[in-house]
Chains A and B, each alone.
Chain A
């Protein structure tokens, strides 16, 4: 129904234009702002293709929603020695990895073994 190029293509094209054509023509004091704009576009591009559904489905097995999961953790429900500690720990890591895959993919290079993200 929607016209192509799609959101991902437009964002990538706009980012390339910003970095290759606009940035070199900008005065030095605006370079930081332009690089931040390019970074924002990159994050948005990755967000378009991220799929939080599988992780959200696993969260639903442990708690009603993120708020009740957070509250249960604070109450000590998933502390070491409780039956669902390991399950919660793996889910939290996968949530953080999913979030990093959008916000800071470079952070995923340096971390130790964890379960693998869908599509990774």
Chain B
């Protein structure tokens, strides 16, 4: 962070806080493919605080929400009692740092998926942690439409399952690469429709890697940029999909603990019979996202090893999908 940017930020943050804010140390945290996260140590009227500043990378996925929209979600989740970093300030003015940004309080813990999965496996599964994950998810799902402050999410789908199939087919068509196995999975979803139910706020990336954890407890649910109205079981299915188990296949909930403990923490509103549909949907969705990331490399839009290798996750997801389709058709999922 250069001096000019730092002093512009100091001035903007001081005005927003109504107090004298000065940035001390600033370091780039290992962030996602889409955003940059800066850990900043500040003083507010001379008192030390630890914050995170979140802003966009140069190339942003068209399908993700803007920083200001993500901030609105964080405010709504914080108010609903979800364990998220306390939202502090949001700046829509791109002239301060080059892109809109928001600031939240820094929380302790680790979000490194492989480390958390390894730790959970060593203990034979962390039921307490996944129960906590279930409670957090239920709190997120207590946010229901209509919401003036979340108007940017648009109208809730009449049937989230049907909307999912339609959206994935549209993205496959737009990408132009034939994907017979993904079509196989989508056709299976179409054969096994779920009765529509009222929409709730879905996080849509609630998985190991986006959960900050310390001492068997979640200290923050991170990365809200894919949130949307939908079927709450989409979140449960995403966390339980085989692709998010980080090698711990037997620990169905994110490679951290048993699916039953997750459902227990979530409460009676969870309907396990809807999970096979949404776990298959999760494998398909991750494959479609991975294909789009690979396409960013292939098109020359943003060349790099990470995006190139992400495309090579797809074959493994295809094996998952084939197994999940078989189980769904056999009624044994």
Contacts and interface: CB of A to CB of B under 8 A. Distances in A.
B320 to A, nearest CB: 8
Contacts of B178: 65-67, 69-71
Which size class do A's interface residues fall under? Answer: 35 or more
Contacts of A103: 312-316
Nearest to A73: B183
A98 to B, nearest CB: 8
A82 B75 CA distance: 51
Interface in B295-312: 305-306, 308-309, 312
Interface stretch (B122-130, B184-192, B264-272): B184-192
A94 to B, nearest CB: 10
A13 B147 CA distance: 59
A76 interface: yes
A14 interface: no
A47 to B, nearest CB: 10
Nearest to B329: A80
B222 interface: no
A80 B309 CA distance: 34
B291 to A, nearest CB: 13
A107 B315 contact: yes
A74 B314 contact: no
A22 interface: no
Which of B187, B191, B308, B326 has the largest count of A CB atoms less than 10 A from its CB?
A: B187
Chain A at the B interface: mostly helix, strand, loop or mixed? Answer: helix
B322 interface: yes
A43 B249 contact: no
A70 B316 contact: no
Nearest to B183: A73
A112 interface: yes
Interface string A62-85: 000111011101101011100000
B333 interface: no
Contacts of A92: 180-181, 184, 318, 322
A95 B180 contact: yes
B179 interface: yes
Chain B at the A interface: mostly helix, strand, loop or mixed? Answer: helix
B216 interface: no
A70 B319 CA distance: 16
Contacts of A33: 305
A52 to B, nearest CB: 12
B323 interface: yes
Contact of A112 (B186, B187, B249, B323): B323
A104 B316 contact: yes
A120 interface: no
Given A33-B305, A79-B191, A80-B329, A104 B315 contact: yes
B5 interface: no
A37 interface: yes
Contact of B306 (A36, A69, A99, A110): A36
A100 interface: yes
Given A102-B315, A103-B316, A76 B187 contact: yes
B179 A104 contact: no
A43 B312 contact: yes
Which of B183, B306, B308, B313 has the largest count of A CB atoms less than 10 A from its CB?
A: B183
Q: Closest 10 interchain pairs by CB?
A: A99-B315, A103-B312, A96-B318, A70-B178, A107-B316, A67-B178, A104-B316, A73-B183, A66-B178, A36-B305
Interface of A: 33, 36-37, 39-40, 43, 65-67, 69-71, 73-74, 76, 78-80, 88-89, 92-93, 95-97, 99-100, 102-104, 107-108, 110-112
Interface of B: 169, 178-181, 183-184, 186-187, 191, 249, 305-306, 308-309, 312-316, 318-319, 322-323, 326, 329
30 contacts: A33-B305, A40-B305, A40-B308, A40-B309, A65-B178, A69-B178, A69-B180, A70-B178, A70-B179, A71-B178, A73-B184, A74-B183, A74-B186, A78-B184, A79-B187, A79-B191, A80-B191, A88-B184, A92-B322, A95-B180, A95-B181, A96-B319, A96-B322, A100-B319, A102-B315, A103-B313, A107-B315, A107-B319, A110-B249, A111-B319
